Structure 1
Amino acid sequence: MTTPGRTASQAGDLIRQFNHDTISTGTDWRFPPHAYDAIGNLAYTIRMLPQALEQTLHPIERTHQEGRVAIDGGRNPQQAVNELRAATAEAVHYARLLSAAVDRMHSAASPMGLDTRGLPEFEDDLR
């Protein structure tokens, strides 16, 4: 059964795999268009982070409204929930800033290509 926690774990695993895949260059990771595609897909992923972060509060908010949040050490549940709300708002803010920055990366990479003149492996493409 898929759970939100498991889905988030899988997303992390995929980013880790991306990091491994991009350590060195290969036939699918050599030229500016390869980076452009990857940046675009990362931008898409990052654009969804604010909503994902905000929605992590839903189970806590529901449980808190029912008066059922228990805090280790006997701390005040209201204080703990308020701290979580503030931390979430900060994370959402920074995720939006990150999203805007990665969108700018994508735009900056957009006009970049490969000058194939004089490269033997591309000579057939010029005929």
Structure 2
Amino acid sequence: MTTPARTLSKAGDGVRQFNHDTIDTGDNWQYPPHAYDAIGSLAYLVRMLPQAIEQTMRPVERTHGEERVTVDGGGDPALAVSELRQAIVDAAVKAQALSAALDRMHSAASPLGLDTRGLPEFQGGDGE
């Protein structure tokens, strides 16, 4: 059974695989359009983070509303939930800022191309 936490874990695994795949350049990771495509996908991912971050509060809020939240060591549930709520707001704001930065990266990468002249893999096309 897939859980919300497992779904996010899979997304993290995908980013980890991307990091591994892009350590070195290769056939599918060597030209500016490759970076442009990857930045676009990363921007798409990050654009969804604020909502995902905010929605992590839902089970806590529900349980807190039922007065069933406990805190290790006997801490105050209301204070702990308030601290979590503030941290979530902070994280969502930072994710929105990251999203804007990635959109700027995507725009900056957009006009970058490749001079194919003299590259054997492009002979017979526009590069001859």
Q: TM-score, normalised by structure 1?
A: 0.97
Q: Following TM superposition, by how much is the alpha carbon of 1:119 offset from its aligned partner in structure 2, in angstroms? A: 2.2
Question: RMSD over aligned Cα, in angstroms?
Answer: 0.9
Aligned counterpart, 2:50: 50
Report how many aligned residue pairs link the two structures: 127
Greater relative contact order (Cα < 8 A, sep 6+)? 1
Deviations 1:28-85 (A, max 9, x none): 1010000000000000000000000000000000000000000000000000000000
Structure 1 moving runs of 4+ over 2 Å: 118-121
Identity percentage over the alignment? 67
* Pairing 1:36–2:36 present: yes
> Which segments of 5 or more consecutive residues in structure 2 lack a partner in the other structure?
none
Q: Which residue is equivalent to 1:13?
A: 13
Superposed displacement of residue 114, structure 1:
0.2
- Which consecutive residues of structure 1, in runs of 5 or more, have no partner in the other structure? none
CA distance in 1, matches of 2:121, 2:91: 46
| Structure 1 counterpart SS, 2:29 | coil
In 2, Cα distance between the equivalents of 1:24 and 1:85? 40
Q: Deviations over 1:83-110 (max 9, x none)?
A: 0000000000100000000000000000
